[in-house]
């Protein structure tokens, strides 16, 4: 399998990664942690709190997004597609603004692929992203369960974000992965949707946010 990344694609991945890190930093500090507001975030930067949350966000939200999109690309290439990620700069700006306003909204872009595929292959390309997020849960779990401090925060947010991202993308509406998977196989959709929904419920109710 010959996987290539264009200069533009690598740039789009980088911009989306940083923008999501900024958006979630704003959201976490101005919403989850009531000590801050959009007007006090700049003052708080000197304390190191903002930088710490930004780094944690990059290692969790950023990685969850990056590997989700890479999974789409790799499976598409495996099926003979020409596939590249394209960032949606308008949506990324809205994500940063939404984070500042205290609510969560992120649609950073998508992997666009072309070529002939069967409905099964199209479904597998779509489900690869949410499944990757579910597979990341046991990777973050040891940090949450056994590490403290910074690594514990990475593990906690990593679990919550990956579970929520998987569940959100498995919704069978609009351009989300769930709609494509459901069009291919009701059974595959049901299995992935239930697994994602259960994981998200457990993560949000029992794990939560580290701040």
List own/partner pairs for 35-40 with CB under 8 A and 24 or more apart. 38/100, 38/101, 38/102
Cα–Cα distance, 90 to 108 (Å, whole number)? 9
Which pair of tokens denotes residue 19?
A: 């923008």
Q: What CA–CA distances, in Å, run from 89 to 14, 26, 60, 66, 161?
A: 12, 18, 21, 16, 22
- Residue bearing tokens 């990620």: 85
Which pair of tokens denotes residue 83?
A: 């596939």
Beta-bridged to residue 83, according to DSSP, are 113
Q: Output the CA torsion sign for 28, 55, 59, 16.
A: positive
Q: Is 69 a catalytic residue?
A: yes
Catalytic member of 69, 84, 121, 153: 69
3-class state of residue 2 by DSSP:
coil
Angle, vertex CA 49, rays to CA 16 and CA 19, nearest 5: 10
Q: Output the CA torsion sign for 83, 94, 158, 44.
A: positive
First-residue to last-residue Cα distance in the chain: 42
Q: Which residues are catalytic?
A: 69
């Amino acid at each position: 399998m010959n996987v290539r990344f264009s200069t533009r694609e690598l740039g789009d991945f980088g911009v989306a990664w940083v923008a999501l890190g900024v958006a979630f930093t704003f959201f976490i500090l101005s919403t989850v942690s009531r000590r801050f507001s959009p007007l006090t975030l700049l003052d708080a930067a000197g304390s190191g709190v903002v930088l710490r949350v930004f780094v944690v966000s990059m290692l969790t939200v950023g990685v969850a997004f990056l590997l989700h999109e890479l999974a789409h690309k790799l499976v598409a290439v495996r099926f003979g597609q020409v596939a590249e990620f394209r960032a949606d700069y308008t949506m990324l700006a809205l994500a940063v603004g939404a984070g500042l306003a205290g609510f969560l909204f992120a649609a950073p872009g998508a992997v666009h692929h072309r070529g002939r595929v069967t409905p099964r292959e199209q479904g597998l390309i779509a489900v690869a992203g949410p499944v990757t997020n579910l597979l990341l849960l046991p990777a973050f779990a040891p940090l949450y369960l056994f590490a403290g401090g910074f690594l514990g925060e990475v593990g906690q947010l990593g679990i919550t974000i990956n579970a929520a991202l998987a569940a959100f993308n498995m919704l069978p509406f609009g351009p989300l992965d769930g709609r494509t998977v459901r069009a291919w196989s009701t059974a595959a959709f049901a299995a992935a949707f239930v697994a994602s929904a259960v994981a998200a419920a457990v993560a949000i109710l029992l794990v939560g946010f580290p701040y």
